[in-house]
């Protein structure tokens, strides 16, 4: 039987490897260490001291796991729960408490690199026709799929080609140019990941000084909402207005400093990101000409660029600096609120819009936004224009990225995702096959054929091993 399988699948004669993904968490050991740490610090278990508190954002109750803003919070250990749930907490204040562990285990079979060459070539058929079709169709694990795809094309030094194919298709299938790239798709997730890969060092260089400055500052130094400034009712109306005016000036100064850093480092943007911006700009202009609309109307061209540079690059890093490895731990709530207002202002400027009455406390910033808008347009024109030789030199070295990417492993992940959507691909192939000589038919047939082959090869490998 084994010989028969090897006769059917010659690739089985080549050694395959497998890798296991799992998490081992010795929670008992950790709890013991925490208990010993508590003893060294002489923490005596005691009852919780609960008080009714309005939290800064939605938090989960430690008992029922439901979210709420208004909860009872312990002044000792900080645990939060609904008032009706607080009597059901099973651990005392000052103890290690409980730890919930969630882990995932999977096993993948990885064949030799050459086995996946036809599969990769099939994905590239007819300007990535299968990937363009799946752009808005893939909803589950879209981020993981796009990450695996981009790592494959980064390894193959084919990033700009796949980005251009996805961008052109997304723009063509967006009915309203004002909202292009504003929703999540395979295109937006892929570009988002590539910008994080190529632009992390640049992002840290631009944002870290501003983030450190905000985190070291006093609380509420940028807060412009009077209800938050005087949340404890300890200021008079006149004193509250004075604090709001002072915070307004502080917020404007920090925004000015941040924008100055962004504008001053425009030549240091990695070449890979600038090439992506150039592709987006050229594609938007070409589609606008096809539709007979003015690309400058409603700043469509600029908004399509800021959908990535600011909406998915600068501003998320300001909102969650620890997730971008710009800080070792999340900032304090007061600093996080300041950076939220900073990101809100920068994003509104990038959207070429102004604050409305919905956030009336931010209306004083509109004059600042109006003054900065011409500079923002100049900046976007520069980063999306063809590069000179000096700008082309600012590129992330390809060997630096290649060392961290295992191409067969990433193609295995792509194959796994395509298996999940194979019925969708087959249905579309049956639909377009009724049309005479549809240009995408061969592309879909090749991809489905390769997906089936690798699936059968994996099954045969498992049988030979067992």
Q: Quick count: other Cβ atoms within 10 Å of Cβ 101?
A: 9
Return the SS3 of 223.
Answer: coil
Q: Which of 452, 463, 458 is nearest to 419 (CA)?
A: 452
Q: How confident is the model at residue 26 (pLDDT cuts 50, 70, 90)?
A: very low
Radius of gyration of the chain, Cα coordinates, nearest whole angstrom? 27
Domain ranges of the chain: 27-88, 159-402
**What percent of the chain shows pLDDT beyond 90?**
45
Alpha helices in 134-235 (DSSP H): 142-155, 159-172, 186-215, 226-229
Q: Of 66-70, 339-343, 387-391, give the range with the top mean pLDDT.
A: 339-343
**CATH for the stretch 159-402:** 1.10.506.10
Q: How confident is the model at residue 98 (pLDDT cuts 50, 70, 90)?
A: low
Q: Quick count: other Cβ atoms within 10 Å of Cβ 348?
A: 19
Which residues make Cβ contacts (< 8 Å) with residue 444, sequence separation at least 6?
A: 129, 130, 133, 425, 428, 429, 432
CA–CA separation, 252 and 325 (whole Å)? 26
Asked whether the predicted pLDDT for residue 20 surpasses 60, the reply is: no
Cβ atoms of 214 and 342 within 8 Å: the answer is yes
Asked whether the predicted pLDDT for residue 58 surpasses 70, the reply is: no
CA–CA separation, 35 and 8 (whole Å)? 59
Q: For residue 334, which phi and psi values (nearest 5 degrees)?
A: -65, -45
Q: Which of 165, 167, 170, 184 is nearest to 124 (CA)?
A: 165
> Where is average pLDDT lowest: 18-32, 106-120, 172-186, 402-416?
18-32
According to DSSP, residue 210 is labeled H
**pTM score of the predicted model:** 0.77
**What percent of the chain shows pLDDT beyond 70?**
79
Q: How confident is the model at residue 440 (pLDDT cuts 50, 70, 90)?
A: confident
Could you please state the CATH topology (level 3) that the domain comprising 27-88 is classified under. Wheat Germ Agglutinin (Isolectin 2); domain 1 (3.30.60)
| Token duo for residue 201 | 């060092």
∠ Cα 282 161 289 (to 5°):
20
Q: Residue 107: its pLDDT value, please?
A: 75
Q: What is the mean pLDDT of the chain?
A: 83
Q: How confident is the model at residue 372 (pLDDT cuts 50, 70, 90)?
A: very high
Q: Which of 115, 108, 119, 117 is nearest to 462 (CA)?
A: 108
Q: Residue 433: its pLDDT value, please?
A: 84
Q: Quick one: average pLDDT of 275-303? A: 90
Q: Quick one: average pLDDT of 226-247? A: 85
Q: What is the DSSP string of 394-453?
A: ----HHHHHTT--HHHHHHHHHHHHHHTHHHHHHHHHHHTTSTT-TTHHHHHHHHHHHHH
Q: Residue 83: its pLDDT value, please?
A: 79
Instruction: Give the HSE-up count for residue 463: Cα atoms under 13 Å, Cβ half-sphere.
Output: 14
Q: Which of 428, 162, 210, 455 is nearest to 326 (CA)?
A: 210
Asked whether the predicted pLDDT for residue 122 surpasses 80, the reply is: yes
Q: Quick one: average pLDDT of 143-161? A: 92
Give percent helix, percent strand, percent coil of the chain, each to the nearest 5: 65, 5, 30
252-261 pLDDT, tens digit each: 999 999 999 9
- In the chain, the largest separation of any two C-alpha atoms, in whole Å, equals 89
317-332 pLDDT, tens digit each: 999 998 898 988 888 8
């Amino acid at each position: 039987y084994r010989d028969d399988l090897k006769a059917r699948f010659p690739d089985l004669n080549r050694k395959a490897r497998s890798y296991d993904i799992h998490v081992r968490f010795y929670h008992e050991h950790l709890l013991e260490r925490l208990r010993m740490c508590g003893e060294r610090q002489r923490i005596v278990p005691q009852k919780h001291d609960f008080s009714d508190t309005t939290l800064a954002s939605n938090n989960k109750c430690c008992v029922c796991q439901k979210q709420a803003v208004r909860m009872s919070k312990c002044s000792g250990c900080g645990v939060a729960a609904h008032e009706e749930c607080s009597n059901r907490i099973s651990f005392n204040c000052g103890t290690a408490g409980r730890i919930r562990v969630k882990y995932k285990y999977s096993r993948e079979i990885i064949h030799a690199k050459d086995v996946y060459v036809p599969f990769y070539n099939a994905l590239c058929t007819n300007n990535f026709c299968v990937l363009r079709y799946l752009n808005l169709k893939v909803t589950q694990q879209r981020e993981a799929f796009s990450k695996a795809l981009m790592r494959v094309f980064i390894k193959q030094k084919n990033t700009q080609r796949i980005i251009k194919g996805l961008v052109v298709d997304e723009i063509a299938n967006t009915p309203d140019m004002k909202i292009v790239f504003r929703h999540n798709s395979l295109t937006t997730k892929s570009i988002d990941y590539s910008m994080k890969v190529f632009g992390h060092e640049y992002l840290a260089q631009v944002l870290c000084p501003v983030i450190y400055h905000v985190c070291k500052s006093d609380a509420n130094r940028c807060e412009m909402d009077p209800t938050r400034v005087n949340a404890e009712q300890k200021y008079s109306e006149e004193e509250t207005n004075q604090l709001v005016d002072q915070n307004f000036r502080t917020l404007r100064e920090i925004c000015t400093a941040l924008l100055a850093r962004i504008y001053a480092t425009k030549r240091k943007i990695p070449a890979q990101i600038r090439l992506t911006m150039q592709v987006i700009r050229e594609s938007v202009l070409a589609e606008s000409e096809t539709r007979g609309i003015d690309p400058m109307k409603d700043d469509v061209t600029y908004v399509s660029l800021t959908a990535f540079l600011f909406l998915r690059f600068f501003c998320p890093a300001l909102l969650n600096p620890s997730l971008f490895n710009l800080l070792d731990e999340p900032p304090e709530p007061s600093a996080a609120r300041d950076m939220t207002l900073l990101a809100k202002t920068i994003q509104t400027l990038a959207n070429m819009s102004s604050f409305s009455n919905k956030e009336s406390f931010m209306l004083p910033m509109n004059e600042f936004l109006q003054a900065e808008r011409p500079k923002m347009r100049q900046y976007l024109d520069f980063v999306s224009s063809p590069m000179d030789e000096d700008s082309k030199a600012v590129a992330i070295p390809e060997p630096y990225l290649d060392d961290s990417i295992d191409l067969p492993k990433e193609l295995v992940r792509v194959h796994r995702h395509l298996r999940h959507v194979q019925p969708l691909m087959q249905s579309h192939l049956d639909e377009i096959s009724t049309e005479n000589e549809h240009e995408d038919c061969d592309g879909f047939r090749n991809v489905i054929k390769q997906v089936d082959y690798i699936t059968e090869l994996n099954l045969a490998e498992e049988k030979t091993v067992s």
